[in-house]
Chains A and B, each alone.
Chain A
Amino acid sequence: MPSWQDFQPFIVTGLALGGVYALSGVGMVVLYRATGVLNLATGAIGAMGALIAWALINDHGWPQGVAYLVCVLFGGVVTLAYGMAFGPPLAGRDPLVKAVATLGLALILLGLMSLIWSDKARSMILPTTTEAFAIGTVHVTWTQVIGIALGIAVTAGAAAFLRYTKLGTGMRALADDREITASLGVPVRRVEAAAWLGTGILSGASGLLLSNLVGLDAATLTFLVISSVAAALIARLSSLFGTLLAAIFIGLVNALATPILSISQYRDMAPFVIAVIALLFMSRKGNLATARGAR
């Protein structure tokens, strides 16, 4: 069994990853509550944004800061475009249908990424990854700090946003009952657009951070979304802080298994196994409805 010393660096890794999972997880929960859509293309969108940034920096010599901004904005724009195009026609359908539709988007993006960039190994190093400091014997990069800090900040920020702003209240109203909300004069389209855009920006940001924490590979980044989904599911697709806690838990378990040689190779199973156990456990207490309001 590895020593406490051996675990320490992985606590940092786990926290950072967890924070980033929370970033896209929170976005997913907010979007789901507002529109009933569980956006499974989040990872693909982030991946593509990261690849675009990479291409801008390496093939076209753009300054890093601008490229990263493009990545984040790309996430917002593509998600918003999808939401505006496919949100309304699917609005009355079952959440399962809406989620499967986002898989269609994911496939399109995966195909595009593979077509344009193929599977070559790439890396994109944020300036914050090269800057590091030490806590005791542990090496911590600023990217990791951003990961966990942003995760916590966005969770708190989103919770505050939902509670205290007009737009946020509109989103909560939509989550409860779409028809009544519309009849109350809430600008449904605008609120939904805000939800799509916001969650898209979070996708872009997490894509960027994950490309540094994990690697810049389209397929890997795309399917890392499953970890965020796992966190969101454990939080029953409704609690933001629950998503944060679940995401950090998943990140930690995943990372802390690394130095334990007997299970290390299977550590990436952690998010999935945790999610399945949590879901099956929760289903014992009676049926889980997919939404608080009938959708």
Chain B
Amino acid sequence: MSTATSTPDATPRLRRSAPGLQTREIRSLIFVAILLIVALAVLPQILSVYWVTICTAVAYYSVVAGGLGLLMGRVGLVSLGQIAVLAVGAWIACKLSFSTSLPFPIVLLVTGLITMVLGTIIGLPALRLSGLYLALITLMLAGAITVALRTMQFPNGGPGFLGNDPNQSDPVRRPAIALTDVAYFRYTVVICLILFAIALWHVRGRAGHAWAAIRQSEPAAIAAGVNITLYKLWAFALASFMTGVAGGLLAGDVQRLYAITFTTQQSIILLAVVLMGGIYSLWGGIIAGIFYSLVPALLNNWGVAADWLTILFGVGVLQVLLTAPGGLSQQFPRDMKNLYGLITGKKRKERQAMQAPPGGEAGAPRAAVSDGPDQSGVVE
């Protein structure tokens, strides 16, 4: 039955040229441009200064949310303490602001880099843990940072390394070109745009491809040469960098910081709004930022207790997790992704496999009952 020579099929010619911008992408770009114009030119004209500062907060919280969404949606890592990371960024920015005379953009950059390094150092050992343990470690760290901050507070021009003097309250400096609240708002929007662009560049490139592979099937990713630990760390690093810079922007925004802004509850609320905003698109980060900063202010304005929002967020979490399509369940690494520790599950399959009659029908779909332990990672 074997054929010694076979005529090759007429191999189809595939389109060679790289795809240009698709309509979908052009629409997004136009939308972003419009949003930018509205933000930079229109909003400051029509809103009072108070509301402009709210929008400043929306901008940098969107970045934080975007970073968290990236971690969750692209790599399936849940951080229950991202607000604590923000606090660390803000602390570093304060410290740099008072202890050095670095120009503000450099402060932002250095803050981002230091936060990134810290995030990576934590991430390295933590990544060996499975999803739940990793999330809980972030919760523990957040708790520790929250407690520490309550005592340390933020540098405010005081003496010593901690730089805090309760009787003092110097403001964090702002960049010379953005001293007023309105100018600072525009400055923040531009920086946040840059941060989102960096994130997008990652998602569209090599990292994004690797993350997509990791999320769907770690075995397939490894078989394609993806260094999973490296790419997960990269996601950690990116999210930490973005959050760190956002912390710097926050410091420059409120200029006097207090630990009470950065509680564990806030981390949980951030998680909720990120889930609700959607973790598969960077737009979700902006929606989350709006939920986190704008809506409470609106409710406050209308005399509605913000607690209703907290309840809504709780419901939102449950709703997203329950009604999410099958795709969302890929966001959290399943136990199957733990390549080396699935013995009990596999043993059961082996037992089933051993008990099944040998051979089976050729061509019959080979599902769970496979040849010994199935590590293709797709069963279940």
Check A-B contact in the complex, CB < 8 A.
yes
Question: Which of under 10, 10 to 19, 20 to 34, or 35 or more describes the interface residues of A?
Answer: 35 or more
Interchain CA distance A265-B148 in the complex, whole Å? 8
Residues 113 to 139 of chain B near chain A (Cβ within 8 Å): 125-126, 128-133, 135-137, 139
Contact across chains for A115 and B332 when beta carbons are under 8 A apart: no
- A20 close to chain B: CB less than 8 A: no
Q: In the complex, what residues of B have CB within 8 A of residue A110's CB? A: 265, 310, 314
Asked if A114 meets B310 with Cβ closer than 8 Å, knowing A99-B135, A229-B136, A295-B335, the reply is yes
- B178 close to chain A: CB less than 8 A: no
Among A106, A111, A284, max chain B CB count under 10 A is at A111
- B35 close to chain A: CB less than 8 A: no
- B373 close to chain A: CB less than 8 A: no
Contact across chains for A276 and B317 when beta carbons are under 8 A apart: no
Contact across chains for B148 and A112 when beta carbons are under 8 A apart: no
Binary CB contact string for chain A from 76 to 108 against chain B (1 if under 8 A, 0 otherwise) = 000000000010011001111101110111111
Residues 332 to 360 of chain B near chain A (Cβ within 8 Å): 332-336, 338, 340-342, 344-345, 348
Contact across chains for B148 and A269 when beta carbons are under 8 A apart: yes
- B264 close to chain A: CB less than 8 A: yes
Contact across chains for B135 and A100 when beta carbons are under 8 A apart: yes
**Distance to closest chain A CB from B68 (angstroms):** 13
Binary CB contact string for chain A from 177 to 198 against chain B (1 if under 8 A, 0 otherwise) = 1001000000000000000000
Interchain CA distance A89-B322 in the complex, whole Å? 7
Interface SS, A side: helix
- B151 close to chain A: CB less than 8 A: yes
Binary CB contact string for chain A from 218 to 233 against chain B (1 if under 8 A, 0 otherwise) = 0100110010011001
Interchain CA distance A164-B154 in the complex, whole Å? 54
Q: In the complex, what residues of B have CB within 8 A of residue A93's CB? A: 321, 329, 332
Q: In the complex, what residues of A have CB within 8 A of residue B345's CB? A: 293-294
Binding stretch for chain A, among B222-230, B231-239, B301-309: B301-309
**Distance to closest chain B CB from A184 (angstroms):** 14
Contact across chains for B144 and A86 when beta carbons are under 8 A apart: no
**Distance to closest chain B CB from A29 (angstroms):** 13
Interchain CA distance A248-B326 in the complex, whole Å? 42
Contact across chains for B335 and A287 when beta carbons are under 8 A apart: no
- A268 close to chain B: CB less than 8 A: yes
Asked if A272 meets B143 with Cβ closer than 8 Å, knowing A86-B322, A111-B308, A289-B130, the reply is yes
The chain B residue sitting closest to A294, CB to CB, is B345
**Distance to closest chain B CB from A82 (angstroms):** 10
- A14 close to chain B: CB less than 8 A: no
- A136 close to chain B: CB less than 8 A: no
- B315 close to chain A: CB less than 8 A: yes
**Distance to closest chain B CB from A224 (angstroms):** 10
Interchain CA distance A276-B275 in the complex, whole Å? 25
Binary CB contact string for chain B from 264 to 301 against chain A (1 if under 8 A, 0 otherwise) = 11001101100100000000000000000000000000
Contact with B132, one of A96, A108, A176 (Cβ below 8 angstroms): A96
Contact with B322, one of A90, A114, A176, A222 (Cβ below 8 angstroms): A90
Binary CB contact string for chain A from 282 to 295 against chain B (1 if under 8 A, 0 otherwise) = 01101111111111
Contact across chains for B265 and A289 when beta carbons are under 8 A apart: no
Interchain CA distance A271-B125 in the complex, whole Å? 19
Contact across chains for B305 and A107 when beta carbons are under 8 A apart: no
**Distance to closest chain A CB from B291 (angstroms):** 13
- A279 close to chain B: CB less than 8 A: yes
Contact across chains for A287 and B147 when beta carbons are under 8 A apart: no
Q: In the complex, what residues of A have CB within 8 A of residue B305's CB? A: 114-115
Contact across chains for A268 and B129 when beta carbons are under 8 A apart: no
The chain A residue sitting closest to B348, CB to CB, is A177
Interchain CA distance A293-B343 in the complex, whole Å? 9
Q: In the complex, what residues of A have CB within 8 A of residue B315's CB? A: 104, 108
Contact across chains for B135 and A289 when beta carbons are under 8 A apart: no
**Distance to closest chain A CB from B3 (angstroms):** 44
Asked if A97 meets B130 with Cβ closer than 8 Å, knowing A90-B321, A266-B147, A272-B143, the reply is no
- B263 close to chain A: CB less than 8 A: yes
**Distance to closest chain A CB from B233 (angstroms):** 15
Interchain CA distance A230-B144 in the complex, whole Å? 12
Q: In the complex, what residues of A have CB within 8 A of residue B29's CB? A: none
Q: In the complex, what residues of B have CB within 8 A of residue A50's CB? A: none
- B313 close to chain A: CB less than 8 A: yes
**Distance to closest chain A CB from B331 (angstroms):** 9
- B78 close to chain A: CB less than 8 A: yes
- B311 close to chain A: CB less than 8 A: yes
Contact with A279, one of B133, B275, B322 (Cβ below 8 angstroms): B133
Contact across chains for A103 and B340 when beta carbons are under 8 A apart: no
Contact across chains for A219 and B334 when beta carbons are under 8 A apart: no
Interchain CA distance A13-B199 in the complex, whole Å? 49
Interchain CA distance A287-B336 in the complex, whole Å? 12
26 contacts between A and B (CB under 8 A): A89-B322, A93-B332, A94-B335, A96-B135, A97-B329, A99-B136, A101-B317, A103-B271, A107-B310, A111-B307, A111-B310, A111-B312, A114-B307, A115-B308, A115-B311, A226-B139, A229-B136, A266-B151, A272-B141, A272-B144, A276-B137, A279-B129, A283-B129, A288-B129, A290-B130, A294-B344
Q: A94-B329, A107-B311, A111-B308 are in contact. List 11 more A-B contacts (CB 8 A).
A: A89-B322, A104-B317, A104-B318, A107-B272, A108-B310, A229-B136, A269-B147, A272-B144, A273-B140, A288-B130, A294-B380
* Chain A residues within CB distance 8 Å of chain B: 38, 86, 89-90, 93-97, 99-101, 103-112, 114-115, 176-177, 180, 219, 222-223, 226, 229-230, 233, 265-266, 268-269, 271-273, 275-276, 279-280, 283-284, 286-295
* Chain B residues within CB distance 8 Å of chain A: 78, 80, 125-126, 128-133, 135-137, 139-141, 143-144, 147-148, 151, 263-265, 268-269, 271-272, 275, 305, 307-318, 321-322, 329, 332-336, 338, 340-342, 344-345, 348, 380
